[in-house]
Amino acid sequence: MTVVIALEVVPGSDAERAEIEEMVRRCSPDSLYHRFHGVVGTPGRAAALLAGPAQEVYVARESGTCVGVASVADDDQACPHIGILVEDAWQRRGVGTALIAAAACGARRRGVTALVADVLYEDRFILEMLRRIGPVTTAASNPGYTARVALAPELLDCAA
């Protein structure tokens, strides 16, 4: 089932990190492992990584509650890293797809032409999700792939 959710770009402020920390508490250790590719520590530490000050943060909310977060890091202006986390109860309902699309549109409007994502071998389905925003090239990087998505020019036309 695909759901319609509200998507917002939020600043990495204390208020946003608090609601993201609450979402992290509802996530399984497995989901957190797949997002961070390892043990991340406390929910507060995870929220700080998901919504740090040097990141563009996209939040998916359902009835006012944060259910998913896309983070586009400020690490490389030309080709920043993207990471997505959707809480378990909301996975496979279209939230991740919507977050990737929103983050890609936002990045393209800022002049970014490519995004990079670290994808575990067992999460190869994410490469298909990324192909929806542009052509993907991959390089092997233990334990998975470094995927580079060239953002499609037509993303500039997406709604602000």
Q: Using CB under 6 A, list all residues that contact ligand COA.
A: 31, 34-35, 83-86, 91-97, 123, 125-126, 129
Write down the least CB distance from residue 143 to ligand COA, Å.
12
Is the CB of 14 or the CB of 123 nearer to ligand COA?
123
Tell me the closest approach of the beta carbon of residue 7 to ligand COA, in angstroms: 12
For ligand COA, the closer CB: 14 or 119:
119
Pairing verdict, β 55-62 and 65-73: antiparallel
Rank residues 16 and 90 by Cβ distance to ligand COA and give the closer one.
90
**Which of 99, 93, 98, 85 has its CA nearest to residue 20?**
85
CA nearest 57: which of 21, 94, 93, 111? 21
State the nearest-atom distance from the C-beta of 14 to ligand COA, in Å. 23
Strand, coil or helix: what is 50? Answer: helix
Name the residue number minimizing CB distance to ligand COA. Answer: 96
Q: How far is the CB of 118 from ligand COA (least distance, A)?
A: 7
Task: Tell me if 12 sits within 8 A of 70, measured CB to CB.
Answer: no
Nearer to ligand COA, 14 or 143 (CB): 143
Q: 153 — alpha (psi -120 to 50), left (phi > 0) or beta? A: alpha
The whole-angstrom separation of Cα 48 and Cα 42 is: 10
